[in-house]
Structure 1
Amino acid sequence: MAAGAVESLTSSPFELIKLRAQQTSKYDWCHTRLPLDDMSGSGRPPSVYDVRRPSQVISLDGCGALWRGLRSGIARDSIFGGVFFSTWQFLHQVILDWKAVEMDPPPRYDEEIGPLSPLAVSLAAGFSGSVVAAASHSFDTAKSRSQCTVLPKFIAMERKLLKWKIPGKRFEKLAGIHPADRNLLFGAIWLRMARSGIASFMIVGSYYLSVSYLVSSN
């Protein structure tokens, strides 16, 4: 989980630039916000479509904008890393125990069971990837929504001087979830589950097949 937090801290600027570079319309969904996010008398901020390059983001929003949505990103990546490997290890042990049932005499240690097939390990990894994608999807959505919000430096300073309070419940504030996004947190969750599951299956399967090929060739 600590590795997930470090990953989020490192990759957050790249995610923001990638997400904003993908904006091709001034009327993109990222620009839509409910009244809870209305600005004060300082005026309406520009569209996210107009603030896509790193120089534009730093000039208008400040350097801190590169890590916008960091709290939800840390929650997402920490959950992803912790749940993925714990679920994968659990399924790996279940498959080992299932294989040991058919052995006579019963093995005393896992090493006596022998290696599992690459297909079984890959399927376990794919299932784990889908599970962890579902568990972390709401935080991923919150991070993406936050990165699509343009908050100029002068508005951020004004909010600080006026002691503007972040809206939402305590958990939402802690996780970086905007209350206006509550109905959007689980949108397209099946697509992310499919993507994560297929990617995990392919990566682990390719690794095991490569290792098996190298071992057999020697």
Structure 2
Amino acid sequence: MVVREKFQDELNELQTMLLELGDFADNALSKSLEALETKNIELALEIMEDDTKADLLYEEINDFAILLIAKQAPVAIDLRRIIVAIKIATDIERIADFAVNVAKSTIRIGNEEHVKPIENIKKMYQITSEMLEISLKAFGEEDVIMAKKVEDMDDEVDSLYGKTIRDLLEVNHQKPEYTSQITQLLFTCRYLERTADHVTNIAESVFYLVKGRHYDLNG
């Protein structure tokens, strides 16, 4: 019984590390959007410098998860918990990378006035941030009903992505002198759309954890 309790404590520790990585990625993405909106180059540079923290935490999670498998030889649901934690950590680490990419686009745009308000881009971030919060909570509570909510939200992001891309391409046609900035804004839209895809992957991992089979929420 004592061994089982220790293993449960270690699983809880793994989950805590994962949630910490999730908070870091969401905070980095939030700051990257703030930097883009306010043209804050210093903040963008800070996001890039801080990315090593996400990389280190990601490595710690993987090392700890592998150690648990080697040490405890878990089966069934416990093994799925560890495998899912590794997969989710990979998705979150990619989200942190996208925050860095947005920061780089901010630096490339520099102090140039935005050719078009970035309201839709901000909405894309707000939805993806909420998606991430829901999917990680669903993981912690092993709640597939909560995880399923992410599917419709991903559709919202896709819709905003399509509309924003069309709007930016139209502006580029009218104001070709802003092509460089528009290119970076198009990249930013893509980073946020891919972020939503990775969050959807997290929701799918919750389904695998609970149901023991894979479900495609991007279909």
- TM-score computed with the length of structure 2 as normaliser: 0.29
- TM-score computed with the length of structure 1 as normaliser: 0.29
Of the two, which has the highest radius of gyration? 1
* More helix per residue: 2
